[in-house]
Structure 1
């Protein structure tokens, strides 16, 4: 049980069960006497601790005891990453950090190469994550299953936090431009 006395966010480490395929989920639903309906659910938007149940069996038991006859689910597979995927992720990260993708690619070249090699070894036939949700009383109760997979963004952010001459120069140039823009306002 969690008890908090203020409104600060408490980061908790969460252990996820392994992601399940649609067939495995359907078997679990059948065993619990529930129907499962596919839905497009986003794990990034559904990790609220107060509605999260960490065991699929517990969630399905809760749904059944609550009088529900069905749950929704989503299973996500990722194909192996390629240069187009790297470009896509670098462009997103570039926009978020306001650093050019060329600088990120240059500073993190070894990490990108390692990421592609690691991802090539991953079994792409296994789901990356799966989600099951039960809705009752206007609240979504959810189970999340995740399998490990390399995440380029995490590797790059770690490397950029360590710095690099081009990244440092880019930040200095941006700060200098911001100062000049500020002075022009007066």
Structure 2
């Protein structure tokens, strides 16, 4: 039983089971005598609409006890990151933070290189996440398996959040420099005074 005396949601760390390969998932489904079908499932788009179970065995036992005959699943692998992947992730992060990707790349160059080095050591044949899903009475129930892998967004945000005065100063200097360069490039009206 879960009891709370708080009216606000408290974020807590949740330990997910490791992601599984398609063969491992199929063996788990067969052990519960459940049919399975591959599907295009996305954690980011679907987590808000699911009842999430932290154990695959619990989900499959629940599905079986509820009369579900089949489940859907998805297994995702990530290739090793390269410069194009870093650029893609930085564009997304820059959009989220409303700052230039070049500024992030400049300030967090060491963290980006550390991310690339860590990711190069990762076994790309191990899935990064697996999803299993079933519907009972119109409600979606899901299990997510996640394997640990380097995340550029995490290391960059940690640097920016805990970078102290150096990160703050670097951002201010680069933003100021970018603003001056922008003003140098444009034909500024004579009546504008820079403060």
- Global fold match (TM > 0.5): yes
Compute the displacement of 1:46 (Å): 3.9
Q: 1:69 to 1:50 in 2, by over 3 A?
A: closer
Q: Cα gap change, 1:96/1:48 in structure 2, threshold over 3 Å: closer, same or farther?
A: closer
Distance 1:5 1:171, change over 3 A: farther
CA distance in 2, matches of 1:170, 1:113: 20
Structure 2 vs 1, CA of residues 157 and 109 (structure 1 numbering), >3 Å: closer, same or farther? same
2:171 equivalent in structure 1? 167
Match of 1:66 in 2: 66
TM-score, normalised relative to structure 2: 0.82
Q: Is the 8 A contact 2:90 2:105 kept in 1?
A: yes
* Residue matched to 2:156: 156
Query: Residues of 1 paired with 2:157 and 2:128: CA distance?
Result: 21
What is the match of residue 43 of structure 1?
Answer: 43
- Per-residue displacement from partner, 1:148-186 (whole Å, max 9, x unpaired)? 000000100111122242313456799xxxxxxxxxxxx
Give the structure 2 partner of residue 144 of structure 1. 144
Paired position in structure 2 for 1:109: 109
Output one character per residue of 1:63-109: Cα deviation in whole Å (capped at 9) or x when no partner.
Answer: 01000100111100000000000000011111111111111011000
SS at match of 1:153: helix
Residue aligning to 1:28 = 28
SS at match of 1:52: strand
Secondary structure in 1 aligned to 2:53?
A: coil
Name the counterpart of 1:89. 89
CA RMSD between the two structures: 2.2
Task: State which drifts further: 79-88 or 4-13.
Answer: 4-13
Q: Distance in 1 between matches of 2:98 and 2:177?
A: 12
Q: Cα–Cα, structure 1 residues 42 and 105, in superposed 2: closer, same or farther, change >3 Å?
A: same
Q: How many residues align?
A: 175
CA contact (8 A) 1:91 1:101 kept: yes
SS at match of 1:51: strand
